[in-house]
Structure 1
């Protein structure tokens, strides 16, 4: 996870004060914070609460929670937050826990997690898509699906 003091320009100081009782030590600003991240797709910024896993109370997990007041963040918004709060070489994930462990304190909040002392296993990239195709637009995706249909894959 990035040093959160790099994101000071996005901090929501009034929320930090009420949530944490203020940031009384420079070290705190490196590992905890509440941020408002402006996004193009909404008039309201994303609210992000972040904590580093190696900080006291982090339990070995870097974590960001991302919310909006009236809807869940989109994949693109979560990806933007991942890129902002984590280094490019870090793998982070959203989890779907078993039902007995599911907790939701906010109807429109999603989370990104990264264990500090373990590597997240990744599936073979071919299970996700064909890398040589690059990023597909809606039109090229439709063309690709039609090609798969024409050869009997779909």
Structure 2
């Protein structure tokens, strides 16, 4: 289980610029494709204080499930569990109206419900 920065998307110039010496911390401009359309998402990644974290944003549209899955696949391994959190309203922080976050605690597993509570994995399993 590994948190890893996709170096090919790292922004190395400007106010948020970094290089590989920053480890997994930095700003990444990730190019994604949906059908014939290419677009970018902005990702700020970091690890520290017991957490691995990425924030994912687009200028005028909140990232959807597919985008969050694509970013998760770039920064974590397929079998890593990460989460989006809905904290108490009193703890909300909203600097960008179209930004979502993925989190994983370092050194402990995220408790997961049994998959059957979500639904069947295959259509044949539906009674």
Tell me, yes or no, whether TM beats 0.5: yes
| Aligned equivalent of 2:106 | 116
Superposed displacement of residue 11, structure 1:
1.3
Q: Which has the higher helix share?
A: 1
| Aligned equivalent of 2:43 | 48
Matches within 5 A, 1:2-151: 2-4=3-5, 7-14=6-13, 17-19=14-16, 22-23=18-19, 26-28=20-22, 30-41=23-34, 43-52=38-47, 58-133=48-123
The TM-score normalised by the length of structure 1 is 0.72
The TM-score normalised by the length of structure 2 is 0.86
CA distance in structure 1 between the aligned counterparts of 2:21 and 2:50, rounded to whole angstroms: 17
CA distance in structure 1 between the aligned counterparts of 2:63 and 2:4, rounded to whole angstroms: 23
Higher Cα radius of gyration: 1
Structure 1 regions of 5+ residues with no counterpart? 53-57, 135-143, 149-154
- Can you list the C-alpha shifts for 1:50-71, whole angstroms capped at 9, x where unaligned? 112xxxxx11100000000001
- Can you list the C-alpha shifts for 1:102-132, whole angstroms capped at 9, x where unaligned? 1111000000000002210101101111013
| Kept after mapping to 2: 8 A contact 1:44/1:68 | no
Q: Which has the higher strand share?
A: 2
Structure 2 regions of 5+ residues with no counterpart? none
Calculate the aligned-residue CA RMSD, in Å. Answer: 2.0
- Can you list the C-alpha shifts for 1:32-63, whole angstroms capped at 9, x where unaligned? 111111112364301011112xxxxx111000
CA distance in structure 2 between the aligned counterparts of 1:3 and 1:83, rounded to whole angstroms: 10
| Kept after mapping to 2: 8 A contact 1:3/1:31 | yes
CA distance in structure 2 between the aligned counterparts of 1:86 and 1:113, rounded to whole angstroms: 11
CA distance in structure 2 between the aligned counterparts of 1:63 and 1:2, rounded to whole angstroms: 9
- Between Structure 1 and Structure 2, how many residues are aligned? 123
